[in-house]
Structure 1
Amino acid sequence: MTPGSGAAPSGPRRCHLPGKDKAWASALAQQLFVASQAFKRIAVGKFLLFKSNSYNSCWQTFPCIYSMSATVSPALPLDAALEQAIAEHQAGRYQQAEELYLGILEAQPFHAIANHNLGLLAGQLGQYQAGLPYLHKALSVNPDEGQFWLSYATGLLKAGQPAEALDIVSTAIARGLDNPASQALRLEAQQAADAAADAPSQQDIDEIVGLYHAGQYPQMENATRRLLEAYPESAFGWSVLGTALQVQGKDALQALQKTVALAPHDAEAHGNLGNAWQAAGQFDAAIDCYLRALEIQPDFAEAHSNLGGALLAQGRLQDAAESYRRALQVRPDYALAHFNLGNTLKELQQFDAAAGSYRSALLLLPDDAEIHCNLGNTLQAMQDYPAALDSYRRALELDPAYVAAHSNSGAALHQLKRHAEAEASYRHALRLAPRDANANNGLGQCLQALDRFDDAVQAYRSAIVWQSQHVAARSNLGQVLYLLERKEEAIASYREVLRLQPDSADAHSQLALALAGNEQPELAHPLYLRAVELAPDSAKALVNLGDFLKTSQRYDEAIASYRRALLIDAADAAVHHSIGLALQADNQFDAAIAAYTQALEIDPGLAIAHSNIGSAQQAQKLLEAARLSYMRALELEARFPAAHFNLGTCLSELGQPEAAIDSYLRALDIEPAYREAHVNLGAVLSNMGRIDDAIQRCRLALDINPGWEDVHSNLLFLLAHSAGQEPAALFAEHRRYAERFETPHIASWPAHPNPRDPQRQLRIGFISADFNNHAVAHFITPVLDNLVKSPDLSLYAYYNNQRNDHITARLRELMPQWRQIDKLSNQQAARQISDDGIDILIDLSGHTGGNRMTLLARKPAPLQASWIGYPLTTGLQAVDYYLTDRHFSPPGLLDEQFSEKLLSLPACAPFLPSHEAPTMSPAPALQNGYLTFGSFNRANKLSRAVIARWSTLLRAVPDARMFLAAMPSERISDTLRGWFAEEGVAAERLTFQLRTDNRTYLELHRHVDVCLDTFPYTGGTTSFHALWMGVPTLTVAGPTLPSRAGASILEHTGLEAFAARDEDDFVRKGKFVADNIMFLATLRLTMRQRLEASAMGQPALIAAGLESGLRSMWQRWCAGLPAAPFEALAGQETA
């Protein structure tokens, strides 16, 4: 924020106005300063100094400084003091000269030369009347010194006593001082005396001066006009009239122009006219007047100062500063010149010098609140916020109602992140001045920092109401509206900023950023380019362009833009860092690390560069090196949330979940709204089987920001794993997701132009983040192998992931119309789907990682379905069907748990065995003599409740063992071992096996007789593989789809006997197989045939059913019918 909110940053420039801060004209000045006998703070000096003993050359404006002559012989110490006083006097150091002269007179009151020169000094400083006693005393002491006669006569003349001056000079001539100088002086005195006879009386003058001092300006104006009726050519009268008009805010130009015409050689008259022109905004005319005044009187301090004000108003800052310095050369104790020089230096961004000028002013005017405030503004510009606050506090002590000081205190507190105090300061300012646009804007910034975005919007709008062209407020309004996701309004605000500043590079960049964020990159790009055109030497504009290109995945162009910025400022570490980010995003990890290293060579304390080096190392699986880089970042910046977060991800990969949790918690302590930290912390807790803790973490995150859709998806996924969830509550939570993230888009769903031809070739899109070595890809690949053979279908893939492997390559072959959408916004991806003319879009992710639910919520295709990836409803109205089978979801049993209509296939998904699967081994119980239960499920399914159920069975079969594979770490194994111990199951009965490669994983089934299923999220892929290896899974069929996966596999393969009704039945069945080992061993030999004979072992059958189902749902859409549940069989179409 620019310091100075609530007032112009430098405060108003104070200008000497006639009749206020300086004498109006010599006649009035003699009245205003007549009482002073000390000459340390005199407003105007007019006369030149000479040092001469001659009578012939010193009468141009005033008698000379008298030096020692043979007629005067003071004692030696006074002699030295006099010489020093004369030297100071001639050098223009009047204060020092005055003190020396007064010192001489204290020792020798009748010292003629000291009296004479002190009288001269008074006249030079404009205090003619005050100088007369000294000149008179000098003449009295030494009447034989002709110079003393002439000096006294000149002083009388200048003091407005021409008759007395004429008398003195005539006496001098009569005494023999008859020369051209004395004759000229007598002529001048005679003319002045004649003019005085036709001039206002002293009584008239005193009356007007008295009205001025009483502040009775209208009466002063009337009295002056009456005086001018009597004396129409009185320069005094016109000058005083100008002053009377000015102090009333009236037009004084005519009066002051008349004054100049009558007194063309009066410097003050020209200065006063200049002030009038400056007040009228006519700065050229004002400057001409000040320059004329300075021609007449070069040491006219006020003219120098006011000339500075006019130059400053024209933006001629260096010239203005020089004028103020000249004023200070004449009058070093001129507080106003120090103040205005400070203002000018601040505008020149010479902050140290500006602060020095303000401090000099405060030495002279310590109780001036405005100077304290402007010093505070300068200190704030120097980022010395505590010192700035001290200055504002002093200003407010002097003037508690000083709006700018309250407002600027708010700005300093805001910079110190003391936002609550800042808000109080701004609100105090606004109580005093509710229409202060700057204070409203500052309050908005403070509220925005406090995350009170709606209140900030109101404050910014108030600023704009009171100052419609307040650019900063409009820009800030755009920013906070953008943060509130009110992007169209933000764009409108930024457009208004651009209208007000059409040649501003920053205005172009701001609007471009908002458009890019609103998924309008085609509009943003030209604006970024225009910003660079407007500011070709601006590294910032090039960096903004580079950032946009990087976000657009145009990495080479982004790097080129950054490198152009480095040509302007090669030592900008942040730009080197940005190059690193672009290279890393382009998977050029070594080059990225080199760029980050260059940034660190410039700025070794750049913690973020160390953190991103760690990120690049982690991407290359250099985990220990990455950990050390993150630690180095945290050594430099302990409260660096991103480094704590990255360290957490690294530790998680290193198999240190507890340490990872600590890192995520540290990140959240620093930044409670760190969304990714909430997500990853929940994932680690989930992987440790702490499902309820993970759920609580998601809910805490959503309390912070209900708009985090990925956190809400995580919550839904975790709830599906929680044993305590009722089906109705689970469905309601999915619908809440839809209400927040789908409802805002329903009104803008497109009217799909797809031709309603029920028999034409259909364009089928599959969208997923799992087109790689993932279970989803393994399930779908054999179906796609068959679908691609159909001439009635054209398949499209929308891949939301950067991971590519041999499975990805295989799927690309099956779906050559491949679209990479992981870097596309929802709007861009929806446009791509629409442009592709997709008829039916099938989502394979649901609410699992990498999903695009908020894309589906925009309804980019006429028909949408969910399949395989997630065994629950999406909750979205935009998704029409959920693909299942009659065993997975028996008709009528689960329909109320889905917002979609259920379409039953011959089997929900196929299973094809891995080519790495070894030959089936005999049941290990035959050799061991005891039964071995087992589990190959992922650790996050192994909740405390699951362990409790399994332990009940193990207690019922006391000689049985438990084999647990796929453990992510020893620490997870230790946790589970502890839970079993709590249930009375000894550690000797347990065998844990860390996660292995796929071949070893399959071979490990030779150690297991029967697998025990998890709940409420039962096994799918693991149950298939176990069956192929001859191992059945003992399960309990639950009330939700996730809890029925195990049972459905068993029903498909004729193994319903292993599907228990409840926990007691689970234990009974487990005891039965333990007591019938031969039965189990015989059954083991039939497993592969059972799978192959089932619908799950026939992907062609499933593909035919899927094609039939797709055609049926399409025909319903063409007929204008809503989605409805049905069963799709191979070769069957249902209209």
Structure 2
Amino acid sequence: MTAELRKRRQEELETALAEARAALDRKDLEAAVAAFERARAAGAAPKLVARDHALALSELGRHAEAVDAFRDWFAKRKKDGDTQNLMGVLLKRAGRLQKAVEVFERARQLQPKGLSPWQNLGNVHAQLGNHEEAVRCYRGALRLSPKSPDLWRLLGRSCLAAGRTEEAIASYRKGLALAPANQTLAALLLQALLQTRQWDEARSFIGGLCAAHPDDSEFAVLAARLAFRTGNTDTAVRQLDEVLAREPGNLSANLQIATIFADSDRRRANEALERAVAAHPQSFDALDRLIDSLVRSRYDSETAHLERAYVLSRRLVERFPSRIPDAARSLRMVFMRVMDEERMAATGSFHRLLPIWLGEMRHTAALHELGQISGMDDRLALVDWHRAWGRRVAAVVRPVTPVAMPALATGRKLRIGFMSSDLRNHPVTYFALPLFEGYDPEKVEVFCYSFSERRPDSLHRQIAGKVTAFRHWPKMADAAVAEGIAADGLDILFELGASTAMNKLEVMAYRPARLGASWVGYPHSAGLEQIDYILTDPYITPEDPRLLIERPFEMPETWVTLSRMFGEVEIAEDLPEARKGQLTFGTANNPYKYTPSCLDAWAAVLRAVPGSRFLFLRPEAAAASFVANSRAAFARRDVDPDRLDYIGVRGAHLKHYNEIDIALDTLPHTGGTTTCETLWMGVPVVSLVGPGFPERLSYSNLSNAGLGDLAVRTVDDYVAQAVGLAADRTRRQQLRHGLRAQIRSLPLGQPERFTRHFYDLATRVAAE
């Protein structure tokens, strides 16, 4: 290189560096990044550009590029603690949490008296769900900086996630002693007090804060949160409306309004969350909550809500890659529903996420994970997670004392209760209805408990007119519900909904009845050891007893029966194959059950039956994202995506089973209600039987409908059974118009027989 060329390169380098510094000074990160790239091209040494270039890229959300930009300098400075620490920060922002742990640990060793590596290491462990490790790190940081309110906050958060609630409360109090007006610490202390049911302490704490800071909106929001959690919803809404009248964009007030109306008025909840996101575009919590609410929204256009949730989910992943584990519950729900396999996989395995959800006590997150298993270790881990959740709930609950009743042997009536917010026009009630309509009032008293925040519908009113008592307690606090149930002196209380919307699973931890039982709403052990039984049958009961926490309340034939609510929807005269000229496989199952192994099996069937088609009968099928992603998923599996069909509908979907020749069940989590509907419409279902409860639902339905041969034990047999059934047009024709009558002659279709067996078994169990 000539001297003149070297001079010109040096001038280019100096100019680029000067432009980069000037751009940073005026906070023009895009210009700074461009200038740093020119400086690198001109030969700038890493020590001149690496740090600032990487930080500018990271601030722009280009986290993977930031790591690459810092890599050379990082490699040269293996023994410099500050360099190691910064690389850990960049890796954390890029979502590479395990690698960040390794780098932060090295930084901590290089800087034993450095506060930042301790804190950063604790933060990453907390995100990974390694709560005990996070506690260790924050304690290490506090030894260096004992007067940091923020460190006491972080320690308290991890203690709470680790189930060490009293230590968490003590940590928050120490932080507040150092910063008495710290709103975040106050909110966390209130959360811990509510989680441990320390109601009086919570009231005293919030009352003192509001008295000391009467004009502080954040403390007013905390008062509203306390009012809501203790059953005073009207007071909570009034307090929040007062805050929002002054500050329409107040983040915490809008988030709390969304919490209150999440189930009863989804539109109002979404309006609050949209205000929060608009006023706080950099708020992770607001964006995550909006995604979660949109994906659950059914009013107006469900498809439009789903598509917007998908757009926002991709935005969250790009903007907050290090927070993906924190948002995994909502992200996974969206990505499952639109069949985005790649992004779904990128949210992490359920083994990685379960500790996080346990720390947050998110029982609802586990429902969509029941099919995300591949071996016995996975199944046992899921059972252990539920048990650990239940023990944490029970640890902070004081059991109530049910009203004493004479022994059943004295001749009194059996008193049995059913607790669910779905005692309305809902699939749970479709199965439970025979028990409300067909019991013998001379022998049994039936009590129902609903917490639904929706206006009672006709089915709700019909049930109320049939049973001994119907308690409708919307938004009532758990402890009050437990006391109310205990006053009814029940022999057995069945919960029918676990932690699905508006249900109160935690009430079972209070033991409000002499015996507790679970049925139909949650196809797995719920986790509470205060639930003595789970209703099963000879087909559903797992062969390995480790896969249930409760004792089986085993019905002699079937765990469900078809009530009058399944109706008489007309079955088309001809097979779909005869009308269309090709055979159609299909499913109406929820996409959260479409695991990669399930899609593999479906694709194998389609490849084995040339010319056949596959129909998705789902609300999601109306969404462009679902169509695009499902086509891509089948194309990856060597199936022409033009063989896929879509009917996007919610509600009036039974008639569309007339478009399906053979239903292919999901696996490993099989259908339940969907399988019953499919069979009722004369459509055979091919299912795979697995070891666990959610893997045996269809096995029970098929066996109790006289089609047990369609439930097989291996994927190869699943494919072979589907192929064989496709070739057996005669059998399919017979089933199309004979299966409904066949069901009526067998346990699945005989509600009176089911009801008799249920109350006979309940009487025996209660008398033991």
| TM-score (ref. length: structure 2) | 0.67
| 1:956 aligned partner | 608
For each residue in 1:754-777, what CA deviation from the matched residue of structure 2 results, as whole angstroms up to 9, or x when unmatched?
335023223322222422332112
Q: CA deviation at 1:1027?
A: 1.6
| Partner Cα distance (1:527, 1:459) in 2 | 16
Deviation track 1:865-898 (CA, whole Å, cap 9, x = no partner) reads: 1111222223443222121222333xx8344422
Partners of 1:832 and 1:620 in 2: CA distance: 23
Instruction: Give the structure 2 partner of residue 997 of structure 1.
Output: 651
For the 8 Å contact 2:525–2:549, the answer to whether it is kept is yes
Say how many residue pairs are matched.
607
Please give the alpha-carbon distance, in whole angstroms, between the structure 1 residues aligned to 2:156 and 2:407: 53
Tell me, in whole angstroms, the C-alpha distance in 2 between the residues paired with 1:617 and 1:756: 42
> Residue 1069 and residue 974 in structure 1: after superposition, are their counterparts in 2 closer, same or farther (change >3 A)?
same
Q: Distance in 2 between matches of 1:481 and 1:615?
A: 19
- Report the CA distance between 1:736 and its aligned residue: 3.7
Distance 2:698 2:609 in 1: 22
Tell me the equivalent position of 2:337.
687
Residue 910 (structure 1) aligned with residue 553 (structure 2)? no
Say if 1:765 and 1:842, in contact at 8 Å, map to a contact too.
Answer: yes
Cα distance change on mapping 1:1088 and 1:830 into 2, 3 Å: same
Please tell me the residue identity of whatever aligns with 1:898.
L
Structure 1 residue 987: Cα displacement: 2.4
Aligned partner of 2:728 in structure 1 is: 1076
Instruction: Give the equivalent residue in structure 2 for 1:803.
Output: 454
Partner residue in 1 for 2:284? 641
User: Aligned residue for 2:384?
Assistant: 735
Correspondences of 1:694-705 after superposition (within 5 Å): 696=348, 700=352, 702-704=354-356
Pairwise CA distance, 1:1111: 0.9
Cα distance in 2 between the residues matched to 1:820 and 1:521: 24
Q: Does residue 983 of structure 1 match 2:637?
A: yes
Q: What does 1:705-854 align with in structure 2 at a 5 Å threshold?
A: 706-711=358-363, 713-715=364-366, 717-726=367-376, 729-742=378-391, 745=394, 754-755=404-405, 757-759=407-409, 760-787=412-439, 789-804=440-455, 805-815=457-467, 817-820=469-472, 823-846=475-498, 848=500, 852-854=504-506
Instruction: Give the SS at the match of 1:737.
Output: helix
In 2, the alpha carbon distance for the partners of 1:1049 and 1:909 equals 8
Q: Identify if the C-alpha distance between structure 1 residues 645 and 857 changes in structure 2 by more than 3 Å, giving closer, same or farther.
A: same
| In structure 1, distance between residues paired with 2:389 and 2:181 | 27
Q: Is the 8 A contact 1:1013 1:1035 kept in 2?
A: yes
Tell me: CA distance 1:473–1:818, structure 2 relative to 1, closer, same or farther (3 Å).
Answer: farther
Q: Percent identity?
A: 22
CA contact (8 A) 2:702 2:710 kept: yes
Change (3 A) 1:671 1:796: farther
Query: Contact between 1:742 and 1:858, CA under 8 Å: does it hold in 2?
Result: no
Give the C-alpha shift of residue 831 in structure 1.
2.7
Q: 1:809 to 1:710 in 2, by over 3 A?
A: farther
Q: Find the aligned partners of 1:629 and 1:452 in 2 and give their Cα distance.
A: 29
CA distance in 2, matches of 1:1068, 1:422: 57
* Aligned-partner residue type, residue 537 of structure 2: D
Please list every run of 5 or more consecutive structure 1 residues that lacks an aligned counterpart in the other structure.
1-418, 425-438, 488-513, 563-577, 582-595, 1117-1135
Task: Report if aligned partners of 2:590, 2:618 keep a CA contact under 8 Å in 1.
Answer: yes
| CA 1086–421 in structure 1, closer or farther in 2 if over 3 Å, else same | closer
Give secondary structure in 2 for the equivalent of 1:742: helix
Q: State the alpha-carbon separation in 1 of the partners of residues 493 and 373 from structure 2.
A: 32
Deviation per residue, 1:1060-1087 (Å, 9 max, x gap) = 3322222332232332313321232211
- Alpha-carbon distance change, 915 to 784 in structure 1, aligned in 2, over 3 angstroms: same
Q: CA separation in 1, counterparts of 2:669 and 2:170?
A: 51
Instruction: State the match for 1:448 in structure 2.
Output: 152
Report how far residue 943 of structure 1 moved.
2.3
- Cα deviation, residue 1046, structure 1: 1.8
Instruction: Confirm or deny: 8 A CA contact 1:964 1:991 kept in the other structure.
Output: yes
- Is contact 2:401–2:512 with CA below 8 Å preserved after alignment? no
Cα distance in 1 for partners of 2:693, 2:170 equals 51
CA deviations on 1:238-261 (whole Å, 9 max, x unpaired) are xxxxxxxxxxxxxxxxxxxxxxxx
**Which residue number corresponds to residue 579 of structure 1?**
241
Q: Deviations over 1:973-1014 (max 9, x none)?
A: 22111111122221232211112432xx12212222111111
Distance 1:850 1:749, change over 3 A: same
Say whether residues 1:1038 and 2:690 are aligned partners.
Answer: yes
Question: Cα offset for 1:1089?
Answer: 0.4
Residue aligned with 1:1019, SS: coil
In the TM superposition, residue 963 of structure 1 has moved relative to its aligned partner by 1.8
In the alignment, is the contact (CA less than 8 A) between 2:558 and 2:700 conserved in 1? Answer: no
Contact 1:627 1:651 (8 Å CA) reproduced: yes
Larger radius of gyration: 1
| 2:582 match: secondary structure | coil
- Tell me the equivalent position of 1:901: 551
Q: Which has the higher contact order (CA 8 A, sep 6+)?
A: 2
Q: What residue in structure 2 maps to residue 935 of structure 1?
A: 587
- Does the aligned pair in 2 maintain the 1:763–1:837 contact within 8 Å? yes
Give SS of 1:903's match: strand
Q: Over residues 251-273 of structure 1, what are the superposed CA-to-partner deviations in whole Å (9 max), with x where a residue is unaligned?
A: xxxxxxxxxxxxxxxxxxxxxxx
Cα pair distance change 1:530/1:967, threshold 3 Å = closer
Question: Residue 1085 of structure 1 aligns with which residue?
Answer: 737
User: Is 1:658 matched with 2:307?
Assistant: no
SS at match of 1:724: coil
Alpha-carbon distance, 1:839 to partner: 2.3
CA shift for structure 1 position 443 = 0.9
Q: Take 1:827 and 1:871, find their aligned partners in 2: how far apart are those partners?
A: 26
* CA distance in structure 1 between the partners assigned to 2:157 and 2:357 by the alignment: 13
Shift of 1:666: 7.0
* Structure 1 residue 1031: Cα displacement: 0.9
Residue 817 and residue 1008 in structure 1: after superposition, are their counterparts in 2 closer, same or farther (change >3 A)?
same
Q: Does the aligned pair in 2 maintain the 1:645–1:667 contact within 8 Å? A: no
Return the alpha-carbon distance in structure 2 between the equivalents of residues 853 and 557 of structure 1. Answer: 25
CA distance in 2, matches of 1:1069, 1:838: 47
Q: 1:1098 to 1:637 in 2, by over 3 A?
A: same
Q: Please state how far the C-alpha of 1:626 moved relative to its aligned partner.
A: 8.9
Check the 8 A contact 2:229/2:477 in 1, yes or no. Answer: no
- How many angstroms apart in 2 are the aligned matches of 1:810 and 1:869? 20
The alignment status of 1:873 with 2:525, answered yes or no, reads yes
Q: Cα 1:841–1:987, aligned 2, differ >3 Å: closer, same or farther?
A: same
1:937 shift after superposition: 1.2
**Inter-partner Cα distance in structure 1 for 2:168 and 2:751:** 63
After superposition, the Cα gap between the structure-2 partners of 1:897 and 1:1010, relative to the gap in structure 1 and judged at 3 Å, is same
Give 1:1091 deviation, angstroms.
1.1
Would you say the 8 A contact 1:800–1:822 is kept in 2? Answer: yes
In structure 2, relative to structure 1, the CA distance for the partners of 1:550 and 1:997 (3 Å cut) is closer
SS of residue matched to 1:1006: helix
Q: In 2, distance between residues paired with 1:461 and 1:908?
A: 47
